[in-house]
């Protein structure tokens, strides 16, 4: 069952990823990305990361994607022209990216996995275990991310304000 | 090879890593090939998601919660990145119509 679920959602994620890259209208790319994110959330569930699963659906597939859809609705449906200033950019970039994939594949094959101490899987990945890590050892980075979010919010408001000379 | 026991069945950890690598590479292709700045931002989100999958996979394999914590932090950073990137994009589009990132190649206001 778990293997069938893995391969179904892995195929769905790859199809969605291809859709993100190949669709010409940005709105279709965004909807394909939602498919990828929902498939990845199932992967997180398979890896017993329940809290990351919930955050992935609420924050990513929910908030961030709605933000993208709003911006597309605001800017109107821009179609992409098939021209580029660099003639060989597409073919060269695919070549380099294939080389990158080869390196990553070799790295994955070469990993020597360490056998872990057996932890309790019913506790692992739950909200309690995340909170214990987040509010003890990693309290300082956690507070820093809240400052980062505040800075990002202020920056976004500043950038999208109405200019005085526009009025 | 390391197998993870999930729901009574054995799944290989490297399958998850391979899926993560494929999605990361697809996102990289999108960033390099696509011309629309909005689609480039979308492809960056795809790459960040692929990295998160690798983090959570290693977290599960080592049964160490820190990978999941780092994935959560990277989600926060990705959300901040999307907000600021889209705000800059809206600001640029307000000034002029851009359908190609190469139209923005000069450093003038």
**So what's the pLDDT on residue B95?**
76
ipTM for the complex?
A: 0.89
Q: Return the ∠ at Cα A53 (arms to A50 and A58), rounded to 5°.
A: 130
Contacts of B53 in chain A (CB under 8 A): 40, 43-44
**So what's the pLDDT on residue A167?**
53
| B28 part of contact set with chain A, CB < 8 Å | yes
**So what's the pLDDT on residue B107?**
63
**Series of mean pLDDT values for 10-residue runs along chain A (167 residues):** 91 95 90 94 92 92 90 75 68 90 91 71 83 92 94 91 67
**So what's the pLDDT on residue A6?**
93
Nearest CA in chain A to B47: A17
DSSP B4-69: EEETTEEEEHHHHHHHHHHHHHHHHHHHHH---HHHHHHHHHHHHHHHHHHHHHHHHHHT-THHHH
Which of A78, A98, A141 has the CB atom closest to B73's CB atom?
A: A141
Quick: pLDDT tens for B42-100: 999 999 999 999 999 999 888 888 999 999 999 999 999 999 999 988 888 877 777 67
Which of A3, A36, A52 has the CB atom closest to B23's CB atom?
A: A36
Say whether B34 and A83 touch across the interface (CB within 8 A).
no
pLDDT surpassing 80 at residue B6: no
pTM reported for the whole predicted model: 0.90
């Amino acid at each position: 069952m778990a293997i069938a679920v893995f391969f179904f959602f892995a195929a769905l994620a790859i199809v969605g990823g291809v859709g993100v890259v190949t669709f010409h209208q940005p709105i279709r790319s965004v909807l394909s990305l939602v498919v990828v994110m929902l498939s990845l959330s199932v992967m997180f569930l398979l890896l017993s990361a329940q809290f990351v699963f919930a955050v992935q659906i609420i924050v990513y597939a929910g908030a961030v994607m709605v933000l993208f859809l709003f911006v597309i609705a605001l800017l109107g449906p821009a179609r992409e022209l098939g021209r580029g200033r660099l003639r060989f950019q597409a073919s060269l970039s695919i070549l380099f990216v294939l080389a990158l994939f080869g390196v990553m594949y070799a790295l994955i094959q070469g990993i020597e996995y360490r056998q872990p101490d057996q932890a309790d899987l019913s506790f692992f990945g739950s909200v309690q275990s995340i909170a214990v890590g987040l509010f003890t050892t990693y309290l300082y980075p956690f507070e820093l991310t809240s400052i980062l979010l505040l800075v990002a919010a202020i920056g976004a408001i500043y950038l999208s304000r109405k200019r005085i000379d526009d009025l | 090879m390391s197998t993870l026991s999930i729901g009574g069945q054995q799944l290989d950890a490297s399958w998850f890593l391979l899926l993560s690598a494929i999605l990361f590479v697809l996102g990289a292709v999108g960033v390099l090939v696509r011309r629309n700045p909005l689609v480039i931002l979308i492809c960056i989100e795809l790459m960040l998601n692929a990295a998160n999958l690798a983090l959570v996979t290693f977290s599960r394999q080592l049964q160490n919660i820190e990978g999941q914590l780092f994935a959560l932090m990277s989600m926060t950073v990705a959300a901040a990145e999307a907000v600021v990137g889209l705000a800059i994009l809206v600001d640029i589009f307000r000034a002029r119509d851009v359908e190609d990132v190469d139209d923005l190649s000069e450093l003038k206001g």
